[in-house]
């Protein structure tokens, strides 16, 4: 049967549901409950909710909603969803928006049919308040198709704080099999998602007047995917204490770290106590580092696209360093390894990858495409601005592609434009085999061979129709797109690139300081005719004649 929880009579829309469920009840079918729009709390256990039942949140606007003590089982999750339209939660002063506590084996969804809609919408919460909180030992649950915005703190908070009685602490409670997917989170004051406690290694709280060190619970079995996060105040997506079977993938992150809060403004922050696979995420334009790795190691970071990480964060202060990917030892375990593979990193404020983990060993950084890192003219050798590592690091660096200059009109802040821009580089069939790391597809889920392309995208064979090789230079000209690229195979830096017309007049020049590659698009810049380009190094010059046909 269906039970209606409201102060007045149910709407006509719900009467039909009542009649249907009365008939189903006679043959033992699961019950349905409607939580009326007037209500702000519902105790599932007290109301007799059993595994397989459904809780309908009535459409309309309410200040807040707390659902507690939901108890499904592994074969029969309790479904919590909206009915009759959008269920909206909005307040300006309350200490939470939607709160689920003490519950297990449930699915909170704004779209039972998994359509791209958000039937449950948490549109505003008071100062310091999360949009959706899942705590008090919540475990074995799924959250999907929820819109959350304008929160006083995090969009989603998914963990339980340690307590003095130790019942929710490490050793007594494990949060298991948590899925957070297909949600839309935007315009938060704090984190977009805060999954797992930040202080894996313990911290001090007061218990009965005495200080006591407590340790947060661990998470086993975590999937965070297909979420859209934009205009996020702190870290867009923070995962901590996820010790095993953790994956973070296919998330779209943009304009993160809007609060410019130091140490809390990454695209993805992988905190202490975490071992994971982090892949196929797009992280576009934020104030902080694209991916911050502070976890256990034995983790895989691959196929991510990171664009403009921290580019405008104190732009005139080179000491405020922001990187594409950063790794250090705040949570690293000995005899573990980091695998950073096939990422595309474009225009970070400082280094492409900054690797500071000396506790880990046999680390591999391979097949990454790193373009235009902002820490130019700082390091010797110059390659350090692409991948910087400190002494004592055990690190294999293989088959990465570095380029220091890309015209801004070639690469805009979208995945499509980055893909089209990067395809001008000779990336195909240049990477090491990553299938042995269970990486079989690229960012777009296209198959990777044993000699994959470098970067997050798999490209077909190089499309440059005109190639000249001379000694330790390669010159590429794509007559269709107008792209010219020079590859330098010596240890000398490239210093100047110039183009002269047939009469010897200089028509283009660019001062550069690049170790490997230089690329420029001349389409629309030069008329049809014969030209000579000249590329200067410290002690040598390479010149070559080329033709512009359109």
Are 394 and 408 part of one and the same domain?
yes
Identify any residues that bridge with 483 across adjacent strands, giving them in sequence order.
521
Cis peptide before 381 (omega within 30 of 0): yes
Neighbouring residues of 113: CB distance < 8 A, sequence distance ≥ 6: none
174 vs 427, higher pLDDT: 174
DSSP string, 13-71: HHHHHHHHHHHHHTTTPPPEEEE-TT-SEEETTTTT--TT-EEEEEEEEES-EEEE--B
Does residue 212 contact residue 205 with C-beta atoms inside 8 Å?
yes
300 domain residue, yes or no: yes
Q: How far is it, in rounded angstroms, from Cα 213 to Cα 224?
A: 30
Residue 25's pLDDT is 47
Tokens standing for 33?
């409950």
> Among residues 96, 122, 148, which one ends one of the domains?
122
User: Residue 70 phi/psi, 5° resolution?
Assistant: -80, 130
153 domain residue, yes or no: no
Identify any residues that bridge with 478 across adjacent strands, giving them in sequence order.
none
Are 325 and 405 part of one and the same domain?
yes
Window from 4-8, 19-23, 195-199, 317-321 with minimum mean pLDDT: 19-23
**Mode of pairing for the β-strands spanning 193-195 and 156-158:** parallel
> Among residues 122, 156, 186, which one ends one of the domains?
122
Are 314 and 298 part of one and the same domain?
yes
Q: CA 310: distance to chain centroid?
A: 15
> Among residues 462, 496, 517, which one ends one of the domains?
462
Q: pLDDT tier at 17 (50, 70, 90 boundaries)?
A: very low
Are 420 and 471 part of one and the same domain?
no
DSSP string, 440-486: -B-TTS-B--SSPPSSSS---S---SEEEEETTEEEEE-TTT-EEEE
Identify any residues that bridge with 496 across adjacent strands, giving them in sequence order.
511, 536
Are 438 and 300 part of one and the same domain?
yes
229 domain residue, yes or no: no
The winner for highest mean pLDDT among 2-16, 375-389, 417-431, 462-476 is 417-431
183 domain residue, yes or no: no
Tokens standing for 63?
């200040």
**Mode of pairing for the β-strands spanning 466-470 and 473-477:** antiparallel
Q: Which domain, by its residues, includes 35? A: 1-122
pLDDT exceeds 80 at position 4 = no
Does residue 269 contact residue 293 with C-beta atoms inside 8 Å?
no
Q: pLDDT tier at 473 (50, 70, 90 boundaries)?
A: confident
Total domains in the chain come to: 3
Q: How far is it, in rounded angstroms, from Cα 39 to Cα 66?
A: 9
186 domain residue, yes or no: no
Are 410 and 475 part of one and the same domain?
no
Are 71 and 35 part of one and the same domain?
yes
Does residue 240 contact residue 198 with C-beta atoms inside 8 Å?
yes
Q: How far is it, in rounded angstroms, from Cα 252 to Cα 117?
A: 16
Mean pLDDT of the chain: 89
**Predicted TM-score of the model (pTM):** 0.87
**Mean pLDDT, residues 56-70:** 98
Q: What share of the chain is helix, strand, coil (3-state, %, to 5)?
A: 5, 45, 50
pLDDT exceeds 90 at position 206 = yes
Q: pLDDT tier at 465 (50, 70, 90 boundaries)?
A: low
Residue 13's pLDDT is 46
CA-atom Rg of the chain in angstroms: 27
Are 430 and 302 part of one and the same domain?
yes
249 domain residue, yes or no: no
Are 319 and 429 part of one and the same domain?
yes
Neighbouring residues of 66: CB distance < 8 A, sequence distance ≥ 6: 40, 41, 42, 96, 98, 99, 100, 101
**Mode of pairing for the β-strands spanning 228-232 and 184-188:** parallel
232 domain residue, yes or no: no
233 domain residue, yes or no: no
Are 300 and 428 part of one and the same domain?
yes
252 vs 426, higher pLDDT: 252
Query: Angle at the Cα of 281 (from 275 to 282), degrees rounded to 5?
Result: 145
Are 367 and 440 part of one and the same domain?
yes
Tokens standing for 72?
């499904």
Are 293 and 423 part of one and the same domain?
yes
Q: How far is it, in rounded angstroms, from Cα 511 to Cα 247?
A: 43
Residue 409's pLDDT is 58
**Mean pLDDT, residues 20-45:** 77
**Mean pLDDT, residues 412-431:** 86
């Amino acid at each position: 049967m269906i039970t209606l929880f409201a102060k007045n009579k149910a709407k006509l829309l719900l009467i039909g549901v009542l009649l249907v469920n009365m008939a189903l009840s006679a043959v033992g079918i699961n019950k349905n409950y409607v939580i009326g729009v007037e209500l702000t709390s519902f105790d599932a256990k007290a109301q007799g909710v059993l595994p397989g039942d459904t809780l309908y949140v009535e459409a309309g606007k309410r200040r807040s909603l707390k659902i507690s003590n939901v108890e499904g089982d592994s074969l029969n999750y309790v479904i919590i969803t909206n009915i009759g339209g959008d269920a909206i939660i909005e307040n300006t002063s309350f200490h939470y928006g939607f709160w689920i506590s003490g519950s297990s084996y449930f699915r909170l969804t704004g779209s039972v049919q998994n359509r791209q809609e958000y039937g449950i919408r948490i549109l505003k919460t008071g100062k310091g308040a999360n949009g959706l909180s899942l705590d008090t030992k919540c475990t074995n649950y799924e959250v999907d198709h929820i819109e959350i915005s304008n929160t006083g703190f995090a969009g989603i908070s998914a963990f339980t704080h340690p307590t003095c009685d130790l019942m929710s602490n490490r050793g007594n409670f494990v949060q298991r099999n948590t899925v957070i997917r297909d949600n839309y989170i935007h315009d938060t004051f704090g984190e977009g998602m805060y999954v797992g406690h930040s202080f894996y290694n313990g911290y001090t709280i007061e218990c009965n007047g005495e200080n006591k060190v407590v340790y947060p619970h661990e998470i086993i079995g975590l999937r965070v995917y297909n979420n859209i996060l934009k205009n996020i105040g702190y870290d867009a997506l923070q995962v901590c204490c996820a010790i095993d079977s953790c994956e973070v993938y296919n998330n779209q992150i943009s304009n993160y770290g809007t609060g410019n809060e130091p140490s809390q403004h990454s695209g993805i922050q992988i905190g202490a106590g975490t071992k994971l696979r982090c892949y196929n995420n797009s992280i576009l334009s934020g104030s902080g580092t694209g991916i911050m790795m502070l976890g256990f190691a034995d983790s895989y970071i691959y196929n991510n696209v990171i664009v403009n990480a921290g580019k405008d964060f104190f732009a005139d202060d080179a000491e405020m360093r922001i990187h594409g990917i950063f790794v250090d030892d705040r949570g690293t375990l000995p005899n573990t390894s980091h695998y950073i593979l096939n990422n595309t990193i474009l225009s970070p404020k400082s280094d492409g990858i900054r690797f500071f983990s000396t506790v880990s060993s046999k680390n591999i950084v391979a097949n990454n495409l790193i373009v235009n890192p902002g820490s130019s003219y700082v390091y010797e050798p110059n390659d350090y601005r692409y991948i910087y590592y400190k002494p004592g690091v055990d690190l294999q660096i293989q088959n990465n592609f570095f380029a220091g200059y890309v015209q801004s009109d070639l690469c805009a802040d979208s995945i499509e434009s980055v893909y089209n821009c990067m395809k001008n580089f000779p990336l195909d069939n240049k990477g090491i085999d990553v299938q042995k790391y269970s990486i079989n597809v690229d960012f777009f889920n296209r198959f990777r061979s044993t000699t994959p392309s470098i970067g997050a995208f798999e490209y077909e064979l190089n499309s440059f129709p005109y190639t000249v090789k001379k000694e330790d230079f390669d010159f590429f000209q794509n007559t269709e797109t107008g792209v010219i690229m020079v590859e330098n195979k010596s240890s000398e830096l490239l210093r100047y690139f110039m183009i002269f017309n047939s009469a010897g007049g200089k028509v283009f020049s660019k001062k550069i300081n690049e170790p490997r590659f230089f690329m420029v698009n001349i389409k629309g810049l030069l008329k049809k005719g014969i030209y000579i380009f000249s590329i200067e190094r410290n002690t040598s010059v390479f010149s070559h004649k080329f033709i512009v046909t359109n």
